[in-house]
Amino acid sequence: MIKDLLIIGCGPAGLYAWKMAQNFNLTGDVVESKATYGGQVTNLYPSKEIFNLPAIKSITGKEAMDEMYNSLNHEYKAIECHFNTSVLDIKITFNKELENNTFEVLFSNNLKYVYKTILFTDGMGLLLPIKLIDKDFDNVLYKYTNNNIFKGKNVVIFGGGDSAIDCSNELAPISNSVKLVHRRDEFRGMKSGLSNAVKSNVDVMTPYVFDKIINEKNNKIEKIALKNVLDSSTINVDLDYAVVHYGFKNQNLNFKNLEVLKNDLGKMVVDNKMQTSIKGIFASGDCCDYEGKIKNLVSCVYESLVAIVNIDKIINNKNLLNKGW
């Protein structure tokens, strides 16, 4: 049996693609290498407030992913989801009867299936945090799921993007003190968020970088030195927790038999149908790129819609695109 579609990744792009594939009565599978859905949003920012979703004033990352998952038709069995499952290999064959490529996929559970199309929604792949220091300490965090650990604590946050600024605003009301450390006076994150942080008594320290550990005990850092990048002067800072938002290095899926065109950042290049350089393989969300791309939850949902309506056109040999209603 040849299935219609394989969706690789179950973050927001994958969840919406799954929903639309159900709406079009497609057959196939969704695979996710982790134990749950939501991708980066669930794993890295579950408590972060999201303000840019249409008709929703505010919602946390986890709540948004839960709503997307709960909106699926779980009685629809023609598409199944497999967590803790990854793709090991993809082999392309031209099917004369279908007059299109088909894809034999080997999974980590040693099962093989054949698909008419594949949609990559695997985001940034395997994310490895860019570390503050090589050694792992119990109180140096690159992600967290429970804000309560910061109540009454002295927290030092490293980074200059929206994640670091949002973290500062999130922790300022419950922590004893919050310091936001960035190597430049100019931040990449939203000015409004930085203004709110200053109003919330976040101590914005620029232009400073981490220099060295002054005191540590029981695998926890108690005091660090920060260095001014302009004059090399240093100051010592006591802390209970350090939260690092330097971003992540990604290890994207690579298959020896799959020569998909990628850009300099390793993103799959797609056309206006969200199709890659290989006919029948599509991509949406953070794993793909095209001219004018904007990265946020709304755009990744739109990209998945575009991909699925074009996949539906291929599967059902349609002359016109479905509108996705």
Q: Residue ranges for the binding site for FAD?
A: 32, 40, 45, 87, 127, 286
Sign of CA dihedral 81, 87, 93, 94: positive
Q: What's the DSSP call for residue 293?
A: -
By C-alpha distance, which of 235, 240, 176 is closest to 210? Answer: 235
Bridge-based pairing of strands 87-95 and 100-107 is antiparallel
CA 77 to CA 73: how far, in whole Å? 9
What single-letter amino acid sits at 240? D
Instruction: Judge whether 103 and 90 are in contact, CB under 8 Å.
Output: yes
Strand (E) positions, 191-291? 203-205, 208-217, 220-228, 234-238, 241-244, 248-251, 268-269, 281-283, 288-289
Instruction: Judge whether 87 and 98 are in contact, CB under 8 Å.
Output: no
Please tell me the chain's helix, strand, coil percentages from 3-state DSSP, rounded to the nearest 5: 20, 35, 45
- Give the residue numbers of the binding site: 32, 40, 45, 87, 127, 286
